[in-house]
Amino acid sequence: MPSRELFWNISDHVLMYPLFVVALLICIVGMIRLFRKWKRGSAENRHAPFWKRLSNAIIQSFAQKRILNQRFAGLMHTLLVWAFLTLSLTTLVVFLQSHFGFTVFTGTPYLVFKVLANSAGLVMLMSLTAFLVRRLKRPDYLSHTKDDLWVLLVLIAILVTGFAVQTLRVAVVDDPWIQFAYISWIFMPLLKATFSASVLAVLHAITWWLHFLLAMFFIAWLPFSKLAHIVLGPAAQYFFEDEPKGVPPLIDFEDEEAESFGKSKLTEFSWKTWFDADTCIRCGRCQLNCPAHHSGKHLNPRASIATLKEQIRLDVDALLPGEVISEEDIWACTTCRSCEEQCPMFIEQVNRLTEMRRWLVMTESRFPRELQQLFKNLENNGNAWGIGFNLRQEHYAEMELENHEDPEILLWPGCSGAFDMRNQEVFKAFMRLLKQAGVKYATLGNSEKCCGDPARRLGNEYLFQTLARENIEKIKATGLKRLVTTCPHCLHMLKDEYPALGSDFSIVHHSQYLLELLESARLKLPKKSFEVVFKDSCYLGRYCGEYNAPRQILADAGITVLEAENNREKSVCCGAGGGLMWIEEPQDKRVNEYCLSGLRPRGTPIVTACPYCLTMLHDALSDQGEQREVLDIAELLTREV
């Protein structure tokens, strides 16, 4: 029956156990040191809902979903993970059989494990070699340290010595099942022709102990090296705030003990920030997908995390904004969350910058000069343009918005829909579609104010809460429980951020509502036949998770969607998010022009579903002198062809 002797030629294998205990204790001590370091951050509950978090960690760890966003590196890493798990399972089976009498390594299961182990070792060795070559030819975004190189070399050494042990054994023992250990079967004849059986036995014992000591070193070294991500990765996936996304915590302005607002020191941030600093594997995906960085700005998310990690080592009481993290970097972030969406370790960047903006704005009164007028406009007139709040209803009347009896929905045009001439055209088109479908609606008229998105994103939390509480009160007074908006920023605020202040209504984007009307046959669209490039909105997509509704509507209308170079989760921000619509960018470092460069082919109309994207792309086209249309989906659907 197929089998083999465990611990062949290793008479003193009992020494394994104290060595394993020592390695395990070193590993545990290292993990405890990390845990104690993280606890120096402020408390934050990251355990509810437990089962959802656990399932997310399991799915992400085994399916490697985010890792696979980069095809080659993702595939190599996924193969590496599954090969590592296979070899770990084989080692566990050997342990169970040698100590508890489980007869697994006999018969057909033995041959299956032999093939699996050889295949897993080969796949793992190939993956590690590919990563080694990638490190030597590394792209600009990929950070590289000696630790990265040593991790690869140690893992390769463990695999090579493992194959060597097997090959040396079968070269001495006449194993009739050698074909199933096909790696050794290839190299065994060379060894037998070169060395005598006694020499091979000595080499086997030496190599066996070298392999074992390398494995023990791997265990002991794990918490002190990049290898820690084997443990920290699943933990990071468990602690990730999946829903709602990108929502900063509320500030209690009635707390009389509060001496400042926002956060400026590492000790003020939660333990998750400290955890993130150790979790980062420096893969550079955040940098690769940061629109601010690509437009030429200094901001680099990967470098920011590295800076925080170094600062934890040096001085946790140092002032972060303006000293450790430059104010230029703090104000450059568009809050698009592309860095977070692509990060395989689920590191949260945006809320940390928001907290530092809060400190700069509300505690230090330090912010770009343009924001002073913006905050004044929001405070006095409830909109970013500073147009009299009592003129909102007048604008609605010009757009032929009227309050119907027994309305089904409450329309939320937002400030763009109310005051921006270009986006008024979008809302007019949407009105025509609602009228065609026979939808009755109402508006708040002059009672509606800015949702508070620019105030909150720019750190003026007090102003945000003032605007939001007033809006919630006015919405509740209507008795309507469902809102529809054309602005993804309003959508995210009212759907995900208002509930913390007591809202009890739902809101959908106009693309989602139009799709409902189409599926219920209340709305029928004439077929059109032309091509467009669709631009995903950061807040509709990465924040609210909606990618399909706009595409489905366009497809139902017979319109062919040409995908942008970076689309869906990898869509490039237009540059207006995070309140940056109101901050002037340097002429040579404009995010909207970088965004436009990926929306090809030239001449093809660009379609979006966000007023910010509409404005920013129109400006980029004007600056570059390109004759090209930018339309909202509602405008496209109502266009005569």
pLDDT tens profile 210-230: 999 999 999 999 999 988 999
Instruction: Give a yes or no: residue 257 inside a domain.
Output: no
Instruction: Give a yes or no: residue 160 inside a domain.
Output: yes
SS3 for 527? coil
Phi and psi at 399, nearest 5°, equal -85, 5
Residue 514 confidence (pLDDT) above 80: yes
pLDDT value at position 113?
76
CB atoms within 10 A of CB 629: 15
pLDDT value at position 67?
85
pLDDT value at position 3?
58
Contacts of 64 (CB under 8 A, 6+ apart): 74, 77, 78, 81
pLDDT value at position 474?
94
Based on the fold, state whether residues 351 and 452 are members of the same structural domain.
no
CB atoms within 10 A of CB 80: 22
Lowest mean pLDDT among 105-119, 425-439, 470-484: 105-119
Asked if 524 and 559 count as a contact pair (C-beta separation under 8 A), the reply is no
Based on the fold, state whether residues 359 and 417 are members of the same structural domain.
no
pLDDT category of residue 139 using cuts at 50, 70 and 90: confident
Residue 45 confidence (pLDDT) above 70: yes
Asked if 506 and 528 count as a contact pair (C-beta separation under 8 A), the reply is no
pLDDT value at position 133?
86
Span 11-16, mean pLDDT? 79
pLDDT value at position 362?
95
Phi and psi at 629, nearest 5°, equal -85, 145
SS3 for 347? coil
Q: What is the mean pLDDT of the chain?
A: 88
Phi and psi at 607, nearest 5°, equal -120, 135
CB atoms within 10 A of CB 522: 13
pLDDT value at position 29?
96
Residue 1 confidence (pLDDT) above 60: no
Sign, Cα dihedral of 291, 490, 540, 545: positive
Which of 363, 391, 406 is the last residue in one of the domains? 363
Selected residue with higher pLDDT from 641 and 475: 475
What type of residue is 65? K
pLDDT category of residue 100 using cuts at 50, 70 and 90: low
Which of 313, 343, 363 is the last residue in one of the domains? 363
Based on the fold, state whether residues 419 and 487 are members of the same structural domain.
yes
Span 465-480, mean pLDDT? 94
pLDDT value at position 584?
84
Asked if 270 and 44 count as a contact pair (C-beta separation under 8 A), the reply is yes
Angle 377-378-379 from CA coordinates, rounded to 5°: 95
Contacts of 145 (CB under 8 A, 6+ apart): 282
pLDDT value at position 641?
54
Distances (CA, A) of 57 to 87, 348, 428, 591: 21, 16, 45, 34
CB atoms within 10 A of CB 50: 9
Span 513-533, mean pLDDT? 90
Asked if 119 and 28 count as a contact pair (C-beta separation under 8 A), the reply is no
Range of the domain at 289: 266-363
**For residue 156, what are its two tokens?**
């390769």
Domain count for the chain, please give it: 3
What type of residue is 220? A
Instruction: For residues 453 and 342, give the distance between their C-alpha atoms in angstroms, rounded to a whole number.
Output: 24
Distances (CA, A) of 23 to 20, 213, 229, 279, 346: 5, 10, 18, 22, 29
Task: Give me the percent of the chain exceeding a pLDDT of 70.
Answer: 97
Selected residue with higher pLDDT from 125 and 175: 125
What does the DSSP assignment read for 72-105? HHHHHHHHHHHHHHHHHHHHHHHHHHHHH----S
By DSSP bridging, strand 606-608 and strand 531-534 are parallel
Lowest mean pLDDT among 134-138, 281-285, 479-483, 550-554: 134-138
**For residue 42, what are its two tokens?**
């402020």
SS3 for 609? coil
Span 242-252, mean pLDDT? 88
Q: What is the CA radius of gyration of the chain?
A: 30
Based on the fold, state whether residues 323 and 424 are members of the same structural domain.
no
Span 240-250, mean pLDDT? 87
Based on the fold, state whether residues 231 and 197 are members of the same structural domain.
yes
pLDDT category of residue 166 using cuts at 50, 70 and 90: confident
pLDDT category of residue 517 using cuts at 50, 70 and 90: very high
**For residue 31, what are its two tokens?**
């993990």
Would you call 436 exposed, middle or buried from its count of C-beta atoms within 10 A (0-12, 13-18, 19+)? middle
Residue 371 confidence (pLDDT) above 70: yes
What type of residue is 501? L
Instruction: Give a yes or no: residue 245 inside a domain.
Output: no
pLDDT value at position 2?
61
Residues 49-83 have pLDDT tens digits of: 888 899 888 888 888 888 888 888 888 888 888 98
Instruction: For residues 249 and 247, give the distance between their C-alpha atoms in angstroms, rounded to a whole number.
Output: 7
Instruction: Give a yes or no: residue 499 inside a domain.
Output: yes
Element (H, E) at 204: helix 197-221
Residues 526-557 have pLDDT tens digits of: 888 888 999 999 999 999 999 999 999 999 98
Based on the fold, state whether residues 343 and 403 are members of the same structural domain.
no
Residues 316-364 have pLDDT tens digits of: 889 999 899 999 999 999 999 999 999 999 999 999 999 999 999 999 9
Based on the fold, state whether residues 568 and 631 are members of the same structural domain.
yes
Span 293-315, mean pLDDT? 91
Based on the fold, state whether residues 311 and 209 are members of the same structural domain.
no
Asked if 158 and 218 count as a contact pair (C-beta separation under 8 A), the reply is yes
Distances (CA, A) of 394 to 44, 75, 224, 477: 46, 57, 65, 21
Instruction: Give a yes or no: residue 390 inside a domain.
Output: yes
Based on the fold, state whether residues 352 and 496 are members of the same structural domain.
no
Which of 363, 391, 424 is the last residue in one of the domains? 363
Instruction: Give a yes or no: residue 283 inside a domain.
Output: yes
pLDDT value at position 144?
74
Based on the fold, state whether residues 226 and 195 are members of the same structural domain.
yes
Based on the fold, state whether residues 193 and 282 are members of the same structural domain.
no
Based on the fold, state whether residues 93 and 54 are members of the same structural domain.
yes
**For residue 582, what are its two tokens?**
């109101």
Residue 97 confidence (pLDDT) above 90: no
pLDDT category of residue 624 using cuts at 50, 70 and 90: confident
Instruction: Give a yes or no: residue 329 inside a domain.
Output: yes
What type of residue is 127? S
- Tracing tokens 């077929």 back to the chain, one arrives at 527
Instruction: Give a yes or no: residue 8 inside a domain.
Output: no
Residue 600 confidence (pLDDT) above 90: no
Closest Cα partner for 33 from 313, 304, 345, 361? 313
Closest Cα partner for 342 from 42, 572, 67? 67
Angle 121-124-125 from CA coordinates, rounded to 5°: 85
Q: What is the CATH number of the domain that holds 196?
A: 1.20.950
For 315-349, where are the alpha helices, taking DSSP H only? 327-332, 338-342
Task: Give me the percent of the chain exceeding a pLDDT of 90.
Answer: 52
- Tracing tokens 């007074």 back to the chain, one arrives at 477
Instruction: For residues 262 and 577, give the distance between their C-alpha atoms in angstroms, rounded to a whole number.
Output: 20
Span 99-124, mean pLDDT? 78
